[in-house]
């Protein structure tokens, strides 16, 4: 079982290389403007056009071959197994190597809410944030979150909570652990209609809290 998880984690890590290559490609395009004053390719091409052009965002052939071999040798997984692994992470007081001795379930027991508000700090200011229920919450992503109103998906929201409230390190979004945690939290929204951007659900809001 441990070998299977490690293999899947390696697979997701390799997928993460795509994101890095996209960033490098965009950086190179930006340098064209800075160095030569020429109009960059990025200003002429949409994201879809870049994908179709066959640019350097593609994985190199050796990594593609390695991924293909890995895909052929990976043992089948199930959603149920991923949800169970995610449940362990959800209740893990060491998630993100945090030192708070808290877990996701500290505020969201059984996927609900313990009520009240949690405290966070933003640009030197302390503020309170209403603790929402997670039941139905996954159906509302992606959406802008936090004081900075950053557009995030559910995995990004998980990381924001880990960093802000558990005082831990974020999870690599390309890892099996991130996928499993998302699977567990998404299970609380089974049967709910997708409503991206909808406000969080707070049964008992605290006056003055976000």
Q: 2-30, pLDDT tens digit by residue?
A: 556 555 655 555 555 444 443 344 433 33
Question: In residues, how long is the chain?
Answer: 210
Question: For the chain, what is the mean pLDDT?
Answer: 80
pLDDT per residue over 151-204, tens digit each? 999 999 999 999 999 999 999 998 999 999 999 999 999 999 999 999 998 888
Look at residue 61 and give its three-state secondary structure: helix
CA–CA–CA angle 92, 204, 118 (5° rounding): 45
Task: State pTM to two decimals.
Answer: 0.70
């Amino acid at each position: 079982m441990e070998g299977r998880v490690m293999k899947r984690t390696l697979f997701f890590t390799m997928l993460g290389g795509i994101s890095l290559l996209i960033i490098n490609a965009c950086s190179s395009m930006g340098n064209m403007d800075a160095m030569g004053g020429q109009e960059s390719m990025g200003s002429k091409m949409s994201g879809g056009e870049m994908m179709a052009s066959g640019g350097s965002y593609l994985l190199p052939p050796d990594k593609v071959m390695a991924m293909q071999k890995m895909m052929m040798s990976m043992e089948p997984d199930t959603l149920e197994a991923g949800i169970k692994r995610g449940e362990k992470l959800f209740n893990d007081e060491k998630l993100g190597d945090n030192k708070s001795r808290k877990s996701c379930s500290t505020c969201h027991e059984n996927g609900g809410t313990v009520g009240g508000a949690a405290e966070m700090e933003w640009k030197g200011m302390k503020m309170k944030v209403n603790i929402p229920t997670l039941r139905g919450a996954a159906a509302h992503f992606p959406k802008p979150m936090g004081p900075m109103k950053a557009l995030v998906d559910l995995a990004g929201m998980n990381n924001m909570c880990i960093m802000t409230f558990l005082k831990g390190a974020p999870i690599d979004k390309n890892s099996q652990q991130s996928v499993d945690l998302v699977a567990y939290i998404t299970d609380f929204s089974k049967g709910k209609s997708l409503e991206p951007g909808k406000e969080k659900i707070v049964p008992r809001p605290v006056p003055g809290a976000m």
